[in-house]
Structure 1
C-alpha cells in the first residue's frame, strides 16, 4: 500500500478479517533482533570467560529492555495503524532508537545504561507522538491515550534523572524500581478503557518475532561451529552440539505453533499474562543460542567454565522456555493433567540431564519426546480452551 501523507487515526477493528503484519512491522521486528543478538553474544562472552552468574543477571536485564520497547510498539500498532507517512516516520524513529539501544546492550552488562536510556528517549518520543495522535483520532479512548502519554513521559523522566544522578551506572535495585513504574503505565492507562487490539494480529506478531529470535539462535551457533571446525583437529563432540541444537530449535518452533494463540486472547486479563510471559520464552530462546555456542567453546577447550556450568546454559533455558510455554499458552488451551504432566516431566528431565555427558543431545531428545506427545494431543484429542 502506498502511504498518503496523513490519514485520520481511527481505531482498527479488533475483529477485522485477515489482519496480518505489515512489511514495516516485519522490518521493525528484524531491527529489534539486532539488539537481541548483541545480548546473546555478550552472554556467550561472559560464560566463556568464567562469569556465568554475572552474565545471566545482566542478560536478563538487557533482554528485558529490548523486549519492553518492542512490546509497547506492537500493542499500540495492533490498535492504531493508519499506515500513513506520519506513522511510518514515527515508526522509523522508534527503529532508530532501537538501534541505539542495540549499540548500548554490551554496556548494560557493565551496568552502564547511557546508550540504552538515550535509545529509549528516542523511541519514547515516537511512541508519545503516536499516542497523541490516538487521543485526537479516537475520542472514546482519549483518556486512555493521554494516560499513556503522561505515564510514558513521567517514567522516562525518571530514567533520565536516574541516569544523570548515577552517571549512567544504574544499580540493579534502581533498575527494578524503574521497571516497576514502566509496568504500571499500561495497567493504569488501560483501566480507563481498553484499546482495540486485534488478537490474531497480536498472536502473529509474537509468532513472527519468535521465528526471528530462533533464526538469530541458529546463526550464532552456525558461526561458532564454523570457527570451531576451522581448527586443525576439531573435537567430535561438536556433532552433539549440532544434533542437539537442531532438535531443540526445530522442536521449539513446532511446540510454539502447535496451538492457535489468537483464540485464547480474549481480553486484557489474558493478554497481560500472555504478552508479558513471552519475555521468558523469547529470552530463553536467545539464551539457548548463547549456551550452545559456549558448549562449542567448552569442547574446544576455550571456555573458563566447567562442563556442568556450560551445560546448564543449554538445559536451563530449555526448561525455562517449556515452563513459560505451558503457563502462558498451552495451559490456556488445556490445563488438564494430559498437558501438565508431559510438560512437567520434560522440564524436570531437562534440568536433570545438566549433569549428564553431552547434555545438549539429551535435552534435544527430551524436546522430541514432548513434541510427539503434543502432536498426538493436538491432532487426536479435543482442545479445552480456557484458563485454569
Structure 2
C-alpha cells in the first residue's frame, strides 16, 4: 500500500468506488417509496446510516493510502461487490420475500464483511503506527462487534417495528463507539482530499434526487405541469447545492486545513463523518417527496392538479429540506463557533411544515419550498458576508 501526502487528490479509483453507492442510495429511496409510512421512513434512514458508515470507512482509509494502488484497489473492488449485494437486499430488509436467500441476514453479513475488510486494510497499511493499531483494536471491540448482536437478532428473530428498533439501537451503539474510542491514532493526511470526497457524496445524493424525479414521470406523457414541477425540483436541488459548495464546503475545508493532529481528526469526525449524514439523509427524504409530486402531477388519470401530498410523503418533502438545513447549521456552528440563525430558523420551519403541505396542491408546495430554500440560502450568505466584513474591519 502506498501512503498519501498532504497534497493528495481524489483518484479515479475512488470515483469508481462511489458508483455502487449511487445505486445504494437509489435503493433507499425506493424502499420508502414502495410503502410510505413513518416506520418505513425510520427504517430506511437506519439502512442509510449503515450504508453511510460503509462509505465513510473507506473515505478515511483512502486519505492515508492511495486507493489506486494494487492492494487497496483490490480491496475496493471487493467492497464494491459486497455493497452491491447489500443494495440488492435493501428492498427486502424489512419485508423478506418468499424464496431465495434471507435478505435481512444477507444485508447484515455483508455489512459485517465491509467493516472487517476496513479494519484489516487499515491494520496492514500501518505496520509502524502502534497508536493506530491500538485504536483499531478498540474500534473492533467497542464499535464493530457490539452492534452485530442487535443487527443479527433483528435479521433473524424479529420483523417490522421490532427489527427497526433493534437496528436503530445497533446504529446508536456503533456511532457512540466512535466517540468512546477517541481520535488518537486516526489520521487525515490531506484535508483537500478529505473535503473533496465528502463533497462528491453530497453530489451523488443530489443527483439521486434528480433521478428520482425522472423515475417518477417515466411512464407518463410530458405536460406543462410536469415541466413546471421538474423546474421547481431542479431549483430546489440547486439551492441545496449552492448552500453546500458556496458556504459549507469551502469553510469546512479551510478550517480542517488549519488544524493538525488530534484536533484535525476530531473536526473531521464531527463535521464530515457525523454531520454530513443529515445532509445526505435530508436529500434522500426530499427526493421521496419530489418523486411523489412528479408522479401526482403527471398521473392525471388518478390525481388532479389541486391534489396535495398526504401522510409521511408530505412531511418528507419539507422535512427532508429541514433536516438538511439543520445539518448545515450544525456544521457552521462547529466550524465557526456561531450558529446561523437563517439556517436554524429555516430548518425548524421546514421540519414543522409537513402538515401545511397537505393543505395545498403538491405542485404549489414544491414551488414554494424551492423559493423558500433560495431565500434561506441568500439570507445566510448575506449574514456570513457581514460577519466576515466585521471581522476584517476589526
- Say if 2:81 is the partner of 1:96: yes
- Deviation digits for residues 339-384 of structure 1 (CA, Å, limit 9, x no counterpart): 31x2234335534452443110000001111222244345565179
The CA deviation at 1:213 is 1.2
Distance 1:291 1:143, change over 3 A: same
For the pair 1:314 / 2:317, whether they are aligned, the reply is: yes
- Which residue does the alignment assign to 2:99? none
RMSD: 3.0
The residue aligned with 1:148 is 139
Report the Cα offset of residue 130 of structure 1. 0.5
Q: Which segment is superposed worse, 65-74 or 261-270?
A: 261-270
Whole-angstrom CA distance in 2 between matches of 1:41 and 1:128: 31
Match of 2:242 in 1: 254
Per-residue deviation, 1:121? 3.0
2:377 aligned to 356, 371, 375, which one?
A: 371
**1:138 match:** 129
User: For structure 2, which runs of at least 5 residues remain unmatched after alignment?
Assistant: 97-102
- Partners of 2:68 and 2:276 lie apart in 1 by 26
The structure, 1 or 2, with the larger RCO (C-alpha pairs under 8 Å, 6+ apart) is 1
Distance 1:368 1:88, change over 3 A: same
| CA–CA separation in structure 2 for the residues paired with 1:285 and 1:107 | 22
Deviates more, 1:117-126 or 1:208-217: 117-126
CA change 1:137–1:227 in 2 (3 A) is farther
Q: Distance in 2 between matches of 1:296 and 1:283?
A: 20
Equivalent residue of 1:307, what SS? coil
The counterpart of 1:272, out of the listed 264, 269, 273, is 269
Q: CA deviation at 1:205?
A: 0.8
Do the aligned partners of 1:334 and 1:383 also contact (CA within 8 Å) in 2?
no
Q: CA deviation at 1:102?
A: 0.4
Name 2:44's counterpart in structure 1. 59
CA distance in 2, matches of 1:137, 1:46: 51
Aligned partner of residue 113 in structure 1, secondary structure: helix
CA drift of 1:20 comes to 1.6
User: C-alpha displacement at 1:308, in angstroms?
Assistant: 4.3
Contact 1:74/1:202, CA 8 A, preserved across alignment: yes
Note the alpha carbon deviations across 1:187-225, whole angstroms, 9 max, x for none: 344355343453332211110110111111111202223
What is the TM-score normalised by the length of structure 2?
0.81
Give unpaired runs (5+ residues) of structure 1.
1-6
CA displacement at 1:97 relative to structure 2? 1.3
